[in-house]
Amino acid sequence: MAEVIRMPLLSDTMTEGVIAEWHKKVGDTVKADDVIAEVETDKATMEVMGYVEGTLLYIGVEKGKAAKVNGIIAIVGKPGEDYSSLLEDKKEATAAPAPAAAAPAPQAAPAAAAPADDAALKEALKNATVIRMPLLSDTMTEGKIVAWNKKVGDVVKSDDVLAEVETDKATMEVIGYADGTLLYIGVKEGDAAKVNGIIAIVGKAGTNVDAILAAESGAPVAAAAPAAQNGTTATPAPQAAPVVAANNTDGRVKASPLAKKLAEEKGIDINQVPGSGDGGRIVKKDVDNFVPAAKAAPAAQATAAPAAPAFVPAGQEGFTDVPLTKMRQVIARRLSESKFSAPHFYLKIDVNMDKAMDARKAINEISPVKISFNDMVIKASAMALRQHPDVNSSWMGDYIRQNQHIHIGSAVAIEDGLIVPVIRFADQKTLSQIATEAKSLYDKAKNKKLQPQEFSGNTFSISNLGMLGIDEFTAIINPPDSAILAVGGIKETAVVEKGQIKTANIMKLTMSCDHRSVDGAVGARFLATLKGFLENPVTMLV
């Protein structure tokens, strides 16, 4: 069945988004991870993924035009599929695709039921608004419901916060932008939902939400009717066993191609998955929700252990499996992609911080906010990037993008992992402005209050472990940057100067570079300029 792609909520203040660019056109084949469009919000321009596979059947918003949050912007499905019933505001479209409706004629029973299903779906969509899991960050694929602020039966307004959602970057609020009664909650607190998956339905009391849910899963409305009578959506569960049997009676598994592909990727035996689709057909949702039964083999092997006396240790072996947070999953994926796709090379340099230490002490006597050594590194790096634009770049596959703006990402360790708040136009800001902004961003990061525009758009990154006693280390490049600077601690070290041994406060810097866009000599010249600024801080004020 065709699936609707809606305008996601990309910031907490967004009410509509402007299509800045379409990356696909009607008739193109799209994959689940394809970027189909770029959307300009009130805060930033971000990429929109459909998270569905098939053919792009319909584009509802032209380039340069705006769409309300949750409004239909595209439809993806099978080639030639009739999607007119999904368009809430274009009922006249049902007359045009009559030939497409005639195509499934061999399946007599489903075809006969289709008019009733379509009528029920249209009526339900007229009186209700589907709330879907919004795309709250550029790397988000699913979100976990931390808390519901409303319960089924509550009256909600368009500006009410329905729920709080934990993404891979932060915990953010979800607003429904619909007036009415909360008719349905599809994800329990603590559970996760895929981006664009239904999490709630708001509308007129008494609306048949089962018609909407059945259309989403591909099941006929009639199968959902008993659930409506019992007041719960959980009643179809007892049908799971008969569905599996019916699915295999003719020796052939009835499953959608996407469901089969997902099952193969996850190592799931498709024969064990209960089907909720028409005639017991297995759809994507069934594979996503399938939980394999526990295997008895390990227990049997345990009982077969040798009976001979053995050494008994004082303690016992054990381990704790820590579930991955959304943030940790994205860190693993993005840094793996960076490390194994970008050819890293490393440049190291020692910086004498004696003058920087004196300068910092003098600056902090008059500065309205305390200046840290990291603030000085950010400022010096930004000014060095202005002189070496080749380092302030991104590898784009077919070309290198040299960024004219300088946005410095400064890595922060938080409880769940690592996040990189971005200080924008750092080369144009004073040390006190950088320090004020950095402190605010770090506090937000630790409290999971960062907004998407505050942790995206970096052109160069800095990771500082010096305050943790680390002398030097190497860092993995933070995409889409071409380089990242690893900053070690300042350590009193014996040095030789003009044949004389003396002590100096040395800070070790290591820069990881993407050799596709930054050559060794380019990186070396950048580090030399950076070293000059830090060893003589007064030059940053000129």
Half-sphere exposure of 280 (CA within 13 A, CB side): 20
477 & 398 share domain: yes
512 & 364 share domain: yes
CA–CA separation, 247 and 252 (whole Å): 7
Would the pTM count as exceeding 0.75? no
Sign, CA dihedral 276-281-286-292, equals positive
Under DSSP, is residue 410 helix (H, G, I), strand (E, B) or coil? strand
Provide the pLDDT for residue 225.
39
504 & 392 share domain: yes
Task: Specify if 379 maps to a domain.
Answer: yes
Task: Specify if 105 maps to a domain.
Answer: no
Of 117, 134, 133, 113, which Cα lies nearest the Cα of 125?
117
405 is catalytic: no
Q: Which domain holds residue 388?
A: 327-540
The answer to whether residues 49 and 135 touch, using CB atoms and an 8 Å cutoff, is yes
Provide the pLDDT for residue 252.
63
Cis peptide before 480 (omega within 30 of 0): yes
pLDDT tens digits, 354-377: 999 999 999 999 999 999 999 999
Task: Please tell me which residue in 179, 344, 471, 515 is annotated as part of the active site.
Answer: 515
Provide the pLDDT for residue 484.
97
Task: Specify if 222 maps to a domain.
Answer: no
CB count, 10 Å around CB of 172?
25
Under DSSP, is residue 133 helix (H, G, I), strand (E, B) or coil? coil
Provide the pLDDT for residue 8.
81
480 & 382 share domain: yes
66 & 133 share domain: no
Domain final residue pick, 212, 242, 262: 212
Task: Report which DSSP code applies to 315.
Answer: S
Task: Please tell me which residue in 28, 89, 154, 519 is annotated as part of the active site.
Answer: 519
CB count, 10 Å around CB of 139?
20
**Structural domains counted in the chain:** 3
160 & 50 share domain: no
Task: Specify if 498 maps to a domain.
Answer: yes
pLDDT tens track of the chain, all 542 residues?
Answer: 788 888 887 665 677 889 999 999 999 998 877 888 988 876 567 778 777 788 999 999 999 999 888 789 999 988 988 888 888 544 443 343 333 333 333 333 344 444 446 788 888 888 888 898 887 766 678 889 989 999 999 999 887 889 988 887 677 788 877 889 999 999 999 899 988 889 999 999 989 888 888 888 765 544 433 333 333 333 343 343 334 434 554 456 777 767 787 788 788 888 888 888 766 778 777 888 888 765 544 444 445 555 677 777 777 778 888 888 777 888 888 889 999 999 999 999 999 999 999 999 999 999 999 999 999 999 999 999 999 999 999 999 999 999 999 999 999 988 878 899 999 999 999 999 999 999 999 999 888 888 888 988 999 999 999 989 999 999 999 999 999 999 999 999 999 888 899 999 999 999 999 999 999 999 999 999 999 999 999 999 87
462 & 523 share domain: yes
Which residues of 118-227 form beta strands (DSSP E)?
128-132, 142-148, 155-156, 161-166, 171-175, 180-185, 192-194, 198-203
487 & 386 share domain: yes
Task: Specify if 254 maps to a domain.
Answer: no
515 is catalytic: yes
Q: What is the CATH number of the domain that holds 189?
A: 2.40.50.100
Of 134, 170, 50, 253, which Cα lies nearest the Cα of 443?
170
Q: What is the CATH number of the domain that holds 517?
A: 3.30.559.10
Domain final residue pick, 212, 234, 266: 212
Tell me the C-alpha to C-alpha distance, in Å, between residue 496 and each of 241, 342, 464, 493, 502. 80, 38, 27, 10, 6
417 & 481 share domain: yes
77 & 127 share domain: no
Provide the pLDDT for residue 93.
37
Domain final residue pick, 195, 212, 229: 212
Provide the pLDDT for residue 427.
95
**What token pair was written down for 223?**
């199968």
Task: Specify if 296 maps to a domain.
Answer: no
Provide the pLDDT for residue 137.
67
Task: Specify if 276 maps to a domain.
Answer: no
CA–CA separation, 134 and 175 (whole Å): 10
Task: Specify if 497 maps to a domain.
Answer: yes
76 & 128 share domain: no
372 & 501 share domain: yes
CA–CA separation, 493 and 454 (whole Å): 38
The answer to whether residues 354 and 497 touch, using CB atoms and an 8 Å cutoff, is no
